[in-house]
Structure 1
Amino acid sequence: MSNSNLPEKENEIKTWLGQFIQDLTTIKLPEVAERNLVRSVSKLITGFLDIPAAYLHEIKRRIERETEAQDLILRANAKDVVELNRKDQEFIANTASYYSIQQFKEAGNRRAVLEKAINELEDRAISEDAKEEIDEDWLAKFAKIANDVSKEDVQLILAKILAGEIVNPGSFSTMALAVLERFDRKAAKQFAELSNHICNVETGTGLVIIATKTTYSGGLIRRGLVAHEIQKMLNPKEYPRIDSYSLLVDVGVLRPFISTRLFNPTEFIEFKVGSTKVGLISNGQFAVPLERQNDKPFKCIELTTAGYELLPFLETGQCPEKYFKELAEFLSSETSHDLIKH
């Protein structure tokens, strides 16, 4: 590396990039995945996708100085600002103060996401190498999102996504990134709550079966009732309701309509609701075996494609007791079988 005016200090790492690169030596990854990790660190810490290879090798051996490229860019930018605003020193000072604080905060957010992503990779046993290098445009979009995320729970989701993309580029689409950009803590909390209701069966993951109960008892509808009273009698009660998750519809995680899906009753012999293992058992000798029952159309709340991609990165909890009871009653009326927890 060429000479610079930066001071030399032995055995001291002075940059975030340097510290991260040195820490990477403790993570054992296949070649392409390791390269993806280095590119991710470089992009999120410095804004550059590819730091010169000679410099990276020097860092891996021993970091002793700041990157000269970064130093030159900073000095060049400062010179441009001064030339542009040489007659307004107060403006320069205010602008520099504002952007310094903003950039420091954004860099801290990116650093926090990176640290969590590295921890995630350290916890994984990765034997198969990535088939391609991580996409530059994907990293640029990801870095933009990470800039503004300071909540630890959302940072953890970002970290898991980045770790997944490093070892398997293309597993998380740019479309899903666009949805993630609209995420905030409230949306993440609501999505986590919804995920506890999601049923994982053979024909579909990411579906919430709506437990429907009809309130109409079969009596005559007397004359003189207004329209909304008739609707209240005829329309079933539904749980959960899609309008309880309007924010997830707005951000693009949930489809804005209720779908109808066909299910074979045998799919419910063993399945999961959230992280709870459940299943149907016969409730009497007169119950028709599930294998002999026809497919049944159930109303469902359904995730979008981006929602499906985001789902694995959530910490799914136990099925809420209210939903379990409502679903058990609904499936019992449909199949003459009881829903139990395993």
Structure 2
Amino acid sequence: MLHIADLAGSDLKDSGIVINSSEFDFDWFLRFFDAAGNIRAEDMRQLWARVLAGEIEHPGSFSLRTVEVLRNMSQAEALAFKNASSLVLEETDGSQFLFCDSDLSDYTINQRHGLGMEDILLLEEAGLISALRASNEIEVGESADGFFNGGGLALIFESDGENASFQYKSYPLSQIARQLLPIVQEEADDGYLTDLGKVLRDDLSQIEVGVYRVLNREGNDIELDLDNNLLDS
């Protein structure tokens, strides 16, 4: 427990933040340290330390339910989530998910990028993704729509002026996973988004598909480098 506190203290020292203890929920810290006292694996201790540092820096970032999920999370589940985090996509409304590739003509994309069905089952068991695949629809007409990853790329869908749509399935991230994602996600897999874009471009005959770099994004206002479609390179 003290080791976790020391690790968190090092993170906070490096960030140079000023701590305001009046904002703390001390019941949260009591529950946290009660749960953290039995953690022995070093990589899991580092995960707990990041949660502690994050809660101190931004009180209310992690719920007590998240602490309970962490208490029961195995090393295999934590590793599966860390690996899957590089493949997490986000819609323009902010919802985050893992794309389900089972309906694609090339349905091995997720597996080629390290996300197999065994990983999906681990993430479901840990309460990090929905146990049921969600059915989603993208509609494009006068305006484009698409997905984003954490690395500054956007997968954009457009039509030739007529309204068009396509359905896809996804594994939505739970609220707990959304809270933990910023501390486990190290780097988005840009190659995954471009590979996914290439297959969708082949599968969707009435929709134009492109992958572009995001130059600036503020809410729903997005500036893209539309002169460079990465699917053509």
* TM-score, structure 2 as length reference: 0.72
State the Cα distance separating 1:295 from its structure 2 match: 5.2
1:249 and 2:124 matched: yes
Give the equivalent residue in structure 2 for 1:262.
137
1:288 and 2:179 matched: no
Give the equivalent residue in structure 2 for 1:156.
46
For 1:199, give the aligned amino acid. L
CA contact (8 A) 2:99 2:170 kept: yes
Q: Following superposition of structure 1 onto structure 2, how do residues 159-238 of structure 1 map, counting pairs within 5 Å?
A: 159-213=49-103, 237=107
Report the Cα distance in structure 1 between the residues aligned to 2:77 and 2:135, rounded to whole angstroms.
Answer: 25
Report the Cα distance in structure 2 between the residues aligned to 1:295 and 1:135, rounded to whole angstroms.
Answer: 49
State the Cα distance separating 1:315 from its structure 2 match: 3.2
Secondary structure of 1:279's counterpart equals strand
Larger strand fraction of residues: 2
Report the Cα distance in structure 1 between the residues aligned to 2:198 and 2:33, rounded to whole angstroms.
Answer: 44
CA contact (8 A) 1:253 1:304 kept: yes
Of the candidates 253, 271, 274, which is equivalent to residue 148 of structure 2? 271
Report the Cα distance in structure 1 between the residues aligned to 2:154 and 2:194, rounded to whole angstroms.
Answer: 11
CA contact (8 A) 1:257 1:301 kept: yes
For 1:255, give the aligned amino acid. S
Report the Cα distance in structure 2 between the residues aligned to 1:255 and 1:238, rounded to whole angstroms.
Answer: 21
Report the Cα distance in structure 1 between the residues aligned to 2:100 and 2:46, rounded to whole angstroms.
Answer: 30
Over aligned residue pairs, what C-alpha RMSD do you find? 3.2
Distance of aligned partners of 1:177 and 1:280 in 2 relative to their CA distance in 1, 3 Å threshold? closer
Between 190-199 and 257-266, the greater mean CA deviation after superposition: 257-266
Report the Cα distance in structure 2 between the residues aligned to 1:177 and 1:162, rounded to whole angstroms.
Answer: 10
Secondary structure of 1:126's counterpart equals coil
**Considering only CA atoms, is the larger Rg found in Structure 1 or Structure 2?**
1
Distance of aligned partners of 1:156 and 1:264 in 2 relative to their CA distance in 1, 3 Å threshold? farther
Of the candidates 116, 119, 123, which is equivalent to residue 7 of structure 2? 116
Give the equivalent residue in structure 2 for 1:299.
169
CA contact (8 A) 2:97 2:170 kept: yes
For 1:119, give the aligned amino acid. S
CA contact (8 A) 2:148 2:155 kept: no
Report the Cα distance in structure 1 between the residues aligned to 2:200 and 2:72, rounded to whole angstroms.
Answer: 35
Greater relative contact order, per chain length (Cα 8 Å cut-off, separation 6+): 2
- Unaligned runs of 5+ residues in structure 2 are 111-115, 212-229
Report the Cα distance in structure 1 between the residues aligned to 2:137 and 2:70, rounded to whole angstroms.
Answer: 30
Cα deviation code 1:93-128 (max 9, x no counterpart)? xxxxxxxxxxxxxxxxx1221111011111224368
CA contact (8 A) 1:260 1:300 kept: yes
Cα deviation code 1:323-342 (max 9, x no counterpart)? 64244312553332233279
State the Cα distance separating 1:199 from its structure 2 match: 0.7
Cα deviation code 1:125-166 (max 9, x no counterpart)? 436846623322x22221132222222222122111111222
Give the equivalent residue in structure 2 for 1:39.
none
Give the equivalent residue in structure 1 for 2:214.
none
CA contact (8 A) 1:117 1:162 kept: yes
Report the Cα distance in structure 2 between the residues aligned to 1:188 and 1:147, rounded to whole angstroms.
Answer: 18
Give the equivalent residue in structure 1 for 2:178.
308
Give the equivalent residue in structure 2 for 1:4.
none
State the Cα distance separating 1:195 from its structure 2 match: 0.8
